[in-house]
Chains A and B, each alone.
Chain A
């Protein structure tokens, strides 16, 4: 049986690219089709009925028509445009960082159901726009994203010798995909030390829900430590820099 020509989906707009005079290629992250690229025609013109509903970070209900190479967006209605997020430079920048992370960690393929990651993104954008602590939001998102993308770090036992970790300063090793104990740390050339409190927060964020994570106010030092570790781990996985990080650092 052939697929219907048109289909509808919820989506978050995570990237936009120019196409010709007034068209755009929009990258959508959807709950049941995964990452999609679609053409939005004439969205740069002032009278476009779609443009406002397809702005970066908008959470919209989108109607698409199947095409040979790329699908075309034929209708869109905003579900949540996260209005307060658009009035604050720091929060907008955090939102753009989340969108870039999702874009980098996901592959474009048909019908990849990852509604957990989709709703994680929507909920994080919602919390950010409600004024939640941006440090906790970002760290929780990153740790959960790693899990959803299949890169959950091993935090309970040493990822090299598999012995339970002791409450001492351990080492995070991107190559082994988790924490390694002090005895194994000399084997790895690229590794970063992680404090006892850093490891506790890391473990908590891996297993708790968002509300619990956001009740925790990260100190500047702890946030910097976790941010650095996660960035290094992401760099190891992606083999490239996350461009938005430079901008986030600029704003600090």
Chain B
């Protein structure tokens, strides 16, 4: 009789199953990570477990911009050197990291946590548009920079925000779109080339 034996313990199998739920981690990578953690020191594994646990217990959304924060306000919103009258609207908290890495933006942010995607059922009530409008109404805002992704969903969100905010008499701008650094012109698509030509600048 061909009887199938259990080859891995329940705890290892559970760890592999949990790790393979992470984005970009397949069953083989999960297995490799699980066996690495088995071999690692207790301290190393403990640190990882503690970091994962802390990310859920110690973080929250900033009450002003909805970025990830340790306290009620994120570091950008609690900073005294930032210009609170200029809001840069982004789709995800990761977008703030990319913009902050450049280090030239002095204003503050607002994270929508998504973009309008009608065919996926994501509308204005599923992302933080109402909170943005409330923030604009209550504060002295001089400019709103819409930095949603240059995708169809991002553009739809940008056009909708422009429709909502521009009647309030606030200067609404959109991040310039053009050719990414290091690419070749011949591979550019029509929309990018059109926007790059429209947004050309003097030397």
Contact = CB atoms under 8 A, between A and B. Distances in A.
Interface residues of B, number: 27
Contacts, number: 77
A243 B119 contact: yes
A20 B20 CA distance: 12
B156 A96 contact: yes
A78 B156 contact: no
B24 A103 contact: no
B159 A92 contact: yes
B119 A96 contact: yes
A250 interface: yes
B174 to A, nearest CB: 11
Interface in A57-101: 57-58, 78, 81, 83, 86-89, 92-93, 96-97, 99-100
Given A56-B151, A89-B160, A92-B159, A100 B118 contact: yes
A88 B191 contact: no
A223 B190 CA distance: 34
Contacts of A100: 118-119
A55 interface: yes
Interface string A154-167: 00000000000000
A243 B118 contact: yes
A78 B190 CA distance: 7
B89 to A, nearest CB: 16
A49 B187 contact: yes
Contact of A83 (B123, B182, B188, B190): B190
Interface residues of A, number: 33
Contacts of A221: none
Contacts of A52: 188-192
A6 to B, nearest CB: 19
Given A47-B183, A92-B155, A78 B189 contact: yes
B120 interface: yes
A246 interface: yes
B127 to A, nearest CB: 12
A97 B120 CA distance: 11
Given A15-B119, A20-B24, A52-B188, A89 B159 contact: yes
Contact of B119 (A20, A49, A53, A103): A103
Given A92-B156, A250-B123, 7 more contacts: A20-B24, A58-B189, A78-B189, A83-B194, A244-B118, A246-B118, A250-B124
Interface of A: 15, 20-21, 46-47, 49, 51-53, 55-58, 78, 81, 83, 86-89, 92-93, 96-97, 99-100, 103, 243-244, 246-248, 250
27 contacts: A20-B24, A46-B183, A52-B188, A52-B191, A52-B192, A55-B191, A56-B152, A81-B191, A83-B191, A83-B194, A86-B152, A86-B191, A87-B159, A88-B159, A89-B159, A89-B163, A92-B152, A92-B159, A96-B119, A96-B156, A97-B118, A97-B119, A243-B119, A244-B118, A244-B119, A247-B123, A248-B118
